[in-house]
């Protein structure tokens, strides 16, 4: 399988983590992250700037911008994607939209070597984004089913015989680091590279329901 | 200098290109989707901005025959407004500015409105009395210079435009209220006496009493039609409009009687109201004072005023870094001081 061109700049803002990385070779990366809520719109660009400075690169030496597409915080995803669109448009670079859960699954797999596991993140107090992963021969985590929106009560039935990651399972693995977003884009994102990103939207997944007062 | 300006504070996505204080293009894309909900739904607004902003930027550059590399300054509305909506334009603007290695300038939306009269050929003259009347704000201000603005008064409850929207909904004319009420008013007579609030603070406004008075009247009108044979919905709309406009005019007259102003500028969405405009013209003729009302495309939310405001402040020597953030309320990042 052919790989995506390097270096890749990546942006992850789907959750509490505001993370940016530069993957400069298959093994080497720079990453700067802040784990704090409500700072993403303020800090993201400074992190990108620091990252380029540390790596001694300029934007025109980058080959593509990988951005984490969700599911996750609607506002967080929009901060990431509108920043990515601005950077890409200004510097003439293509975007690589990366499915957030796939990048997270890749990160879990490369760190913990689990064969079969699930990711479950809270949407609100009642609902959960849920996806089950299995590892294939390339080391690519494949979704056994699509990402689903489930009720809190369903989680225990769906995950009887394997580990669950994500904030709905009460652990820290709720969003990937930007290095994993970049790495996923490098390994598996070649077909997703696009310069036609004007209308690109985050993977909101959850349908937005409007209650109209009678 | 060439300025690219972006406005995404509410339900209009707008992008403008300016050469100094002269507008080359001002594109506005209104989101129609909110109509069926009777008001702006913030999440839908944010989603739409993210879809529209880049095509609109491309189109603005193309129409002004300017390449993105030629832009010298990128400006975007930072607030006040819907925070999720603001963040789309702001973060896009910042990262675009960064990627072409140009400064970014955050603009206070209300200051954009205040100086929107300067987009016209006939500009306000300092000091000018400014009335900002929109769906979110009703403010009376003394503009002494681009960086010296004193707030004389504001609404203590609903904004003028909000009152139009709410009353329009109450009496079944729907959203958006301003244009609908204005249209129906022309078919009616303004003989119903609705009250205008009297407040302790002489330059403040209040619309909740007027709104309630219209509601009570309308309830009686629908439940006892036999008592209102001579009255139509259009008369109610027209009478409300008269009271709402008079409430504004009263304060303007009071302000110019107490202080010398060289001009009056009335800005914001409600400034497009034709009754308000004709009353202002009367004041201008009678009191021999210059009146500046922005053209229709500059009354509602638009990026041209954001670009102009960025140009004014950039010319004053202000600079911002890329960590500048969005803010939801008026008295952040502003040159307006309360008096």
Residue B192 to residue B238: CA distance in whole angstroms: 9
Whole-number average pLDDT of chain B: 95
Distance from CA of B67 to the nearest CA of A (A): 11
pLDDT band (50, 70, 90) for residue A138: confident
- A91 contacts in chain B (CB < 8 Å): 99-100
Secondary structure in 3-state letters for chain B? CEEEEEECCCCEEEEEEEECCEEEEEEEEECHHHHHHCCCCHHHHHHHHHHHHHHHHHHHHHHCCCCHHHCCEEEEEEECCCHHHHHHHHHHHHHHHHHCCCCEEEEEHHHHHHCHHHHCCCCCCCCEEEEEECCCCEEEEEEEECCEEEEEEEECCCCHHHHHHHHHHHCCCCCCHHHHHHHHHCCCCCCCCCCCCCCCCCCCECCHHHHHHHHHHHHHHHHCHHHHCCCCHHHHHHHHHHHHHHHHHHHHHHHHHHCCCCEEEEECHHHHCHHHHHHHHHHHHHHCCEEECCCHHHHCCCHHHHHHHHHHHHHCCCCCCCCCCCCCCCCCCCCEEEC
- Which residues from B are below 8 Å from A62, CB to CB? none
B92/A83 CB distance under 8 A: yes
| Residues A35-77 pLDDT 10s | 998 999 999 999 999 999 999 999 999 999 999 999 999 999 9
Q: Determine whether the interchain pair A41/B87 forms a contact, defined as Cβ–Cβ distance below 8 Å.
A: yes
For chain A, how many residues are written? Answer: 214
Residue B31 pLDDT grade (very low, low, confident, very high; cuts 50, 70, 90): confident
Residues of B in contact with A75 (CB under 8 A): 46, 83-84, 87
Is the Cβ pair B87, A48 closer than 8 Å? no
User: Once rounded to an integer, what is the mean pLDDT over residues B281-286?
Assistant: 97
For residue A37, which of A70, A83, A72 has the smallest C-alpha distance?
Answer: A72
Percent of chain B with pLDDT over 90: 91
ipTM of the assembly? 0.95
- Chain B residues close to A212, C-beta within 8 Å: 37-38
- Out of B46, B88, B323, closest to residue A46 by CB: B323
pLDDT interval class at B168 (50, 70, 90): very high
State the alpha helices, DSSP H only, in chain A.
Answer: 40-55, 74-91, 100-112, 155-158, 178-188
Chain B hits for A197, CB-CB cut-off 8 Å, are 54
Residue B79 bridge partners (DSSP)? B108
CB contact under 8 A, B95 and A45: yes
> Given A45, A199, A210, which is nearest B322 (Cβ)?
A45
- At residue B34 the predicted structure's pLDDT band, cuts being 50, 70 and 90, is confident
Q: What is the mean pLDDT of residues B171-183?
A: 92
The count of CB pairs under 8 A between chains A and B is 106
If phi over 0 gives left and psi between -120 and 50 gives alpha, with beta otherwise, what is residue B17?
Answer: beta
Q: Give the residue from A47, A49, A43 showing the smallest Cα distance to B101.
A: A49
Which residues on chain A are in Cβ contact (under 8 Å) with B166?
none
At B141 the pLDDT is 98
Percentage of residues of chain A with pLDDT beyond 70: 94
Confidence of residue A15 (pLDDT cuts 50, 70, 90): very high
pLDDT of residue B40: 84
Compute the mean pLDDT over every residue in chain A, rounded to the nearest whole number.
Answer: 92
**For B71, which residue in chain A has the nearest alpha carbon?**
A90
Confidence at A111, pLDDT banded by 50, 70, 90: confident
Q: What is the C-alpha separation between B143 and B157, in angstroms, rounded?
A: 23
Q: Do B133 and B182 touch, CB atoms closer than 8 A?
A: no
Asked if the model's pLDDT at residue B113 lies above 60, the reply is yes
Of B54, B90, B97, the CB nearest to A85: B54
Q: What are phi and psi of B250, to 5 degrees?
A: -50, -50
8 A C-beta contact, residue A189 and residue A96 = yes
Residue A84 clears pLDDT 70, i.e. is over it = yes
Report yes or no: B150 and B130 within 8 Å, Cβ to Cβ. no
Q: How many CB atoms lie within 10 A of CB A109?
A: 19
Chain A environment of B95 (Cβ under 8 Å):
44-45, 48, 82-87, 90
Higher pLDDT, A35 or A115: A35
Subunit contact A45:B41, Cβ cutoff 8 A: no
CA distance A202 to chain B (A): 9
| Contact between B51 and A85 using a beta-carbon 8 Å cutoff | no
Cβ contact (<8 Å) for A86 and B92? yes
Closest B-chain CA to A89: B96
**Residue B270's pLDDT band (cuts 50, 70, 90):** very high
Q: Provide the pLDDT confidence category of residue A142 given band limits of 50, 70 and 90.
A: confident
Q: Give the model confidence (pLDDT) of B214-223 as tens digits.
A: 999 999 999 9
Residues of B in contact with A34 (CB under 8 A): none
pLDDT digits (tens, 9 = 90+) for B252-266: 999 999 999 999 999
Q: Which domains does chain B have, with CATH numbers?
A: 2-114+298-338 (3.30.420.40), 123-293 (3.30.420.40)
Instruction: Give the model's pLDDT for residue B7.
Output: 98
Q: Name which of A64-78, B36-50, B197-211, B217-231 the model is least confident about.
A: B36-50
pLDDT higher than 90, residue A205:
no
Nearest CA in chain A to B40: A210
Band of pLDDT at residue B14, cut at 50, 70 and 90: very high
> How confident is residue B101, by pLDDT bands cut at 50, 70 and 90?
very high
Quick check: A212 pLDDT over 80? Answer: no
**What DSSP state is assigned to residue A159?**
T
Which residues of chain B are within 8 Å of residue A46 when distances are taken between CB atoms?
Answer: 322-323
Mean pLDDT lowest among A92-101, B93-102, B228-237, B323-332: B323-332
Task: Judge: B58–A75 Cβ closer than 8 Å, yes or no.
Answer: no
Q: Which of A37, A39, A41 to mutate to test the interface with B (most CBs of B within 10 A)?
A: A41
B53/A75 Cβ within 8 A = no
């Amino acid at each position: 399988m052919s790989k995506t061109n390097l270096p890749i700049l990546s942006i992850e803002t789907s959750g509490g983590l505001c993370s940016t990385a530069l993957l400069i070779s298959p093994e080497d990366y720079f990453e700067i992250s802040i784990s704090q809520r409500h700072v993403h719109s303020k800090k993201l660009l400074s992190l990108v700037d620091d990252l380029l400075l540390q790596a001694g690169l300029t934007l025109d030496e980058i080959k593509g911008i990988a951005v984490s597409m969700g599911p996750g915080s609607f506002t967080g995803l929009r901060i990431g994607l509108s920043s990515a669109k601005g950077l890409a448009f200004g510097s003439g670079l293509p975007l690589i939209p990366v499915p957030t859960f796939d990048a997270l699954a890749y990160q879990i797999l490369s760190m913990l070597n689990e064969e079969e596991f699930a990711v479950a993140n809270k949407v609100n107090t009642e609902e959960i984004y849920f996806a089950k992963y299995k590892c294939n021969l390339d080391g690519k985590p494949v979704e056994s089913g699509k990402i689903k929106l489930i009720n809190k009560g369903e989680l225990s039935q769906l995950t009887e015989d394997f580990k669950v990651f994500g904030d709905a399972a009460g652990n820290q693995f709720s969003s990937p680091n930007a290095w994993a977003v970049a790495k996923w884009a490098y390994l598996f994102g070649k077909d997703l590279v696009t310069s036609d990103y004007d209308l690109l939207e985050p993977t909101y997944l959850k349908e937005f329901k409007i209650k109209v007062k009678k | 200098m060439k300025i690219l300006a972006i406005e995404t504070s509410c339900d209009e996505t707008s992008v403008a290109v300016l050469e100094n204080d002269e507008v080359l293009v001002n594109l506005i894309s209104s989101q129609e989707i909110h109509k069926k909900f009777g008001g702006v739904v913030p999440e839908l607004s944010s989603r739409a901005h993210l879809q529209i902003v880049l095509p609109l930027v491309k189109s603005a550059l193309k129409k002004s025959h300017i390449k993105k590399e030629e832009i010298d300054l990128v400006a975007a509305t930072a607030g006040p407004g819907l925070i999720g909506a603001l963040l789309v334009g702001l973060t896009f603007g910042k990262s675009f500015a960064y990627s072409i290695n140009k400064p970014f300038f955050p603009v206070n939306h209300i200051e954009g409105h205040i100086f929107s009269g300067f987009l016209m050929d006939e500009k306000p003259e300092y000091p000018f009395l400014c009335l900002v009347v929109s769906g979110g704000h009703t403010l009376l201000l003394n503009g002494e210079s681009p960086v010296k603005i004193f707030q004389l008064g504001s609404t203590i409850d609903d904004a003028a435009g909000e009152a139009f929207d709410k009353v329009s909904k109450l009496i079944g004319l729907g959203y958006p209220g301003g244009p609908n009420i204005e249209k129906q008013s022309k078919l009616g007579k303004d003989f119903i006496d609705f009250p205008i609030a009297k407040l302790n603070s002489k330059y403040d406004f209040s619309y909740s009493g007027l709104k309630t008075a219209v509601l009570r009247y309308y309830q009686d009108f629908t439940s006892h039609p036999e008592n209102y044979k001579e009255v139509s919905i259009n008369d109610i709309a027209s009478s409300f409009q008269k009271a709402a406009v008079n409430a504004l005019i009263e304060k303007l007259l009071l302000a110019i009687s107490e202080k010398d102003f060289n001009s009056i500028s009335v800005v914001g969405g409600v400034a497009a109201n034709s009754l308000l405009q004709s009353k202002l013209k009367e004041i201008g003729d009678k009191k021999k004072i210059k009146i500046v009302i922005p053209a229709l495309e500059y009354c509602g939310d638009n990026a041209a005023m954001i670009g102009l405001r960025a140009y004014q402040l950039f010319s004053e020597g202000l600079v911002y870094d890329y960590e500048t953030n969005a803010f939801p309320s008026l008295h952040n990042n502003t040159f307006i001081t309360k008096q």
